[in-house]
């Protein structure tokens, strides 16, 4: 499918999507194809004024959407799943054009993104509370879950469809309305998703999208607006930290999916062929530009030569090229800045003594970085301490498990980790000793719409996906009922009001009775 036709159909000149229609703005910004550096669209650039219109529209739509029967919300989300699947080719064309990832990666992303609509169509009708008896026996406690309110969603460019649906689907299932700010690099896919939701029957004002080049202005205006009650952010730890500080001013409910520095552990008794297969996925999906990407490889000394030879061989045969070539396996990085940053990290690592042991060939135009395997990397090397966000695999050799665990946990991040091993008990022992939110065991991918996704330490707060994902968009309310109400409905005498606590305060007296 031709990306230009798909983009024209979206009408990017009215890219700001508020209350079910496109808004033109005073200025426009350019969206580029990372493979060719060509401008593929000019899109309206949201400002504080459009941000305010969007949050007001979401606030107006909230009471009715929150009161819509869960079954009705579920059926709309289910239709969104069907429409997304039916529209796969169009979404793939958009993702390839603005993100640059290969067609196979984009197709996998659309399938993953669609699954959030299906999973949360099933969860929308499973809002549960509880009913409990107080310890003193005099009170009944009913716990209900309610939508938190208008939610501000901020998403990155690396999964332009899935990062949007992973937030929108649980928010809508819970009864929230949303304002979404996609990354300026990839606004077109988010707009296409919003239009699919409208076609599925989402009422006007429930989903609003404000693409902008001034993220700070748009998001700050949402965080300070009295209508907003929630911020759900996916992006770097630095920006997440800053948004948390802003959210603190209004004590907003906050969910943060932040950066990662995933270790990939290979033990002595591993099936190296399987480990290499997993390593290729964990490292090179999306060109290494995933928060869960394997960032540092720890390989047991006894299998290091074999693993490096096989992994290096697989890397050298990777086909690096534009998404327009259906055989490409690794695309360009998202921007010139990203490509320069990764090349600088390789240069720094080699200056510190690492060796480029294997490398694929890559086109010289566009923002490509050749997939690279580094050996001779010291456990304290700078490249291991930060998110590489590119197709580079530094290998560290380990001998001793205690030392390995110290190296692995010596980071501010705790998002994902991978272990390849022949023995389940080793996987469980090492896995539970790693301070990370997700551990893949003999598997190069940890994301699944049914499983809680998120990190520990500075990789984030809260979880997306699974049942936990919907709870992030709900408040808990308690309704307590005293049993001592008289038959006539009047309250008991003042002295009896604390009777429910009696057995707690005077257990002996209660037992004697
Ligand atoms: P980023 O933090 O630069 O941007 C993320 C989003 O925040 C974008 O929409 C951007 O426009 C917006 N933003 C930037 N500055 C802002 C500001 N001052 N105020 C408000 N919003 C602002 O991150 P990125 O480069 O787009 O994405 C890569 C990062 O995202 C990596 O660190 C990666 O690990 C992380 N990420 C995390 C997850 C996860 O689930 N944990 C998923 C994908 C990406």
Residue 485 predicted with pLDDT over 70: no
Q: How high is the pLDDT of residue 503?
A: 45
Q: Classify 23 as helix, strand or coil.
A: strand
Query: In the β-sheet with 294-300, what is the strand arrangement from edge to edge?
Result: 355-359, 372-375, 392-398, 294-300, 262-266, 416-420, 438-441
- Token pair 């008990």 is found at 425
Region of 305 on the Ramachandran plot (φ > 0 left; ψ -120 to 50 alpha; else beta): alpha
- Token pair 């309110």 is found at 149
pLDDT band at 510 (very low <50, low <70, confident <90, very high): very low
d(CA 399, CA 406): 13
Question: Phi, psi (5° rounding) for residue 491?
Answer: -80, 150
Q: Is the distance from CB of 378 to CB of 352 less than 8 angstroms?
A: yes
Q: How high is the pLDDT of residue 327?
A: 96
d(CA 401, CA 432): 13
Put simply, whether the predicted model's pTM sits higher than 0.85 gets the answer: yes
Query: pLDDT of 190-246, one tens digit each?
Result: 999 999 999 999 999 999 999 999 999 999 999 999 999 999 999 999 999 999 999
Q: How high is the pLDDT of residue 502?
A: 42
Using the 8-state DSSP alphabet, how is residue 287 labeled?
G
Residue 488 predicted with pLDDT over 60: no
pLDDT band at 60 (very low <50, low <70, confident <90, very high): very high
Is any ligand 1 atom within 6 A of the Cβ of residue 390? no
Q: How high is the pLDDT of residue 263?
A: 98
**Least confidently predicted of 135-139, 218-222, 337-341:** 135-139
Average pLDDT over residues 16-36: 93
Question: Phi, psi (5° rounding) for residue 102?
Answer: -60, 160
Active site (annotated) includes residue 96: no
| Contact residues for 154 (Cβ-Cβ < 8 A; gap 6+) | 180, 181, 215, 219, 231, 232, 233, 234, 235, 243
Supply 418's token pair: 């991978």
Q: How high is the pLDDT of residue 506?
A: 47
Q: How high is the pLDDT of residue 498?
A: 55
Residue 270 predicted with pLDDT over 50: yes
Q: How high is the pLDDT of residue 512?
A: 43
Residue 401 predicted with pLDDT over 60: yes
H helix and E strand count, the chain = 17, 22
Average pLDDT over residues 446-473: 97
d(CA 106, CA 159): 9
Q: How high is the pLDDT of residue 487?
A: 54
Question: Phi, psi (5° rounding) for residue 506?
Answer: -130, 70
Tell me how far the alpha carbon of residue 239 lies from the centroid of ligand 1, in angstroms: 7
Active site (annotated) includes residue 257: yes
Tell me how far the alpha carbon of residue 383 lies from the centroid of ligand 1, in angstroms: 20
Atom of ligand 1 nearest to the CA of 159: 43
pLDDT band at 492 (very low <50, low <70, confident <90, very high): low
Q: For 426, what's the count of Cα atoms within 13 Å in the CB-facing half-sphere?
A: 15
| Contact residues for 127 (Cβ-Cβ < 8 A; gap 6+) | 70, 145, 174, 470, 474
**How much of the chain exceeds pLDDT 90, in percent?**
88
User: Which residue from 186, 239, 367 has its CB within 8 A of the most atoms of ligand 1, so it is best to mutate?
Assistant: 239
pLDDT band at 482 (very low <50, low <70, confident <90, very high): confident
Using the 8-state DSSP alphabet, how is residue 499 labeled?
G
Average pLDDT over residues 459-479: 97
Residue 501 predicted with pLDDT over 90: no
Residue 366 predicted with pLDDT over 60: yes
Tell me how far the alpha carbon of residue 64 lies from the centroid of ligand 1, in angstroms: 32
> How far from 74 is each of 89, 151, 171, 462, CA to CA, in Å?
25, 19, 12, 23
Question: CA gyration radius for the chain?
Answer: 26
Q: How high is the pLDDT of residue 211?
A: 97
Is any ligand 1 atom within 6 A of the Cβ of residue 184? yes
**Least confidently predicted of 120-134, 275-289, 498-512:** 498-512
Average pLDDT over residues 160-168: 98
Q: Which of 185, 291, 464, 472 is catalytic?
A: 291
Angle CA 438–255–186, to nearest 5 = 85
Is any ligand 1 atom within 6 A of the Cβ of residue 222? no
Is any ligand 1 atom within 6 A of the Cβ of residue 460? yes
For the chain, what is the largest distance between any 2 Cα atoms, rounded to a whole number of angstroms? 87
d(CA 167, CA 131): 29
Is any ligand 1 atom within 6 A of the Cβ of residue 234? yes
Q: Which of 50, 109, 185, 257 is catalytic?
A: 257
Residue 493 predicted with pLDDT over 90: no
Q: How high is the pLDDT of residue 513?
A: 37
Q: Is the distance from CB of 385 to CB of 399 less than 8 angstroms?
A: no
Is any ligand 1 atom within 6 A of the Cβ of residue 157? yes
Is any ligand 1 atom within 6 A of the Cβ of residue 216? yes
d(CA 111, CA 397): 37
């Amino acid at each position: 499918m031709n990306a230009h036709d798909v983009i024209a159909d979206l009408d990017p000149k009215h890219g700001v999507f508020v209350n079910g229609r496109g808004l033109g703005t005073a200025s426009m910004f350019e969206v580029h194809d990372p493979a060719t550096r060509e401008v593929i669209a000019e899109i309206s650039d949201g400002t504080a004024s459009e941000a305010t219109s969007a949050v007001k529209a979401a606030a107006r739509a909230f009471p009715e959407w929150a009161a819509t029967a869960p079954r009705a919300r579920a059926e709309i989300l289910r239709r969104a799943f069907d429409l997304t699947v039916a529209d796969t080719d169009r979404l793939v064309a958009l993702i390839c054009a603005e993100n640059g990832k290969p067609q196979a990666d984009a197709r996998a992303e659309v399938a993953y993104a669609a699954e959030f609509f299906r999973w949360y169509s099933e969860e929308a009708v499973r809002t549960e509370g509880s009913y409990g008896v107080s310890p003193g026996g005099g009170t009944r406690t009913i716990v209900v879950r309610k939508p938190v309110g208008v939610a501000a969603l901020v998403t990155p460019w690396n999964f332009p469809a899935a990062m949007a649906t992973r937030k929108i689907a649980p928010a809508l299932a819970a009864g929230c309305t949303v304002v979404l700010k996609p990354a300026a690099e990839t606004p077109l896919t988010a707009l296409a998703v919003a239009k699919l939701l409208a076609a599925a029957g989402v009422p006007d004002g429930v989903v609003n999208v404000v693409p902008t080049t001034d993220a700070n202005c748009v998001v700050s205006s949402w965080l300070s607006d009295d209508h907003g009650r929630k911020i759900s952010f996916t992006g770097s730890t630095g920006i997440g930290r800053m948004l948390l500080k802003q959210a603190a001013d209004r004590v907003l409910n906050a969910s943060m999916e932040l950066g990662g520095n995933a270790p990939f552990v290979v033990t002595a008794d591993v099936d190296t062929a399987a480990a290499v297969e997993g390593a290729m996925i964990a490292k090179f999906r999306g060109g290494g530009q995933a928060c869960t990407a394997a960032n540092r490889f720890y390989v047991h000394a006894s299998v290091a030569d074999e693993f490096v030879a096989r992994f290096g061989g697989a890397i050298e045969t990777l086909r690096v090229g534009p998404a327009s070539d259906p055989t490409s396996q690794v695309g360009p990085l998202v921007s010139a800045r990203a490509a320069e940053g990764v090349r600088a990290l390789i240069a720094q690592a080699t200056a510190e003594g690492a060796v480029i042991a294997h490398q694929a060939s890559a086109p010289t135009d566009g923002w490509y970085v050749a997939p690279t395997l580094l050996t001779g990397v010291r456990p304290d090397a700078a490249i291991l301490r930060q998110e590489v966000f590119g197709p580079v695999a530094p290998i560290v050799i380990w001998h001793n498990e205690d030392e390995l665990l110290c190296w692995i946990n010596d980071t501010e991040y705790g998002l994902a980790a991978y272990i390849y091993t022949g023995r389940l008990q080793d996987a469980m022992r090492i896995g539970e000793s790693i301070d990370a939110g997700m551990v893949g065991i003999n598997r190069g991918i940890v994301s699944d719409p049914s499983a809680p996704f998120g990190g520990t330490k500075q990789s984030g707060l809260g979880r997306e996906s699974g049942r936990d994902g919907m709870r992030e968009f709900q408040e808990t309310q308690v309704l307590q009922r005293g049993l001592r109400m008289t038959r006539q409905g009047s309250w008991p005498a003042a002295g009896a009001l604390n009777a429910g606590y009696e057995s707690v305060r005077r257990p002996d007296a209660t037992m004697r009775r």
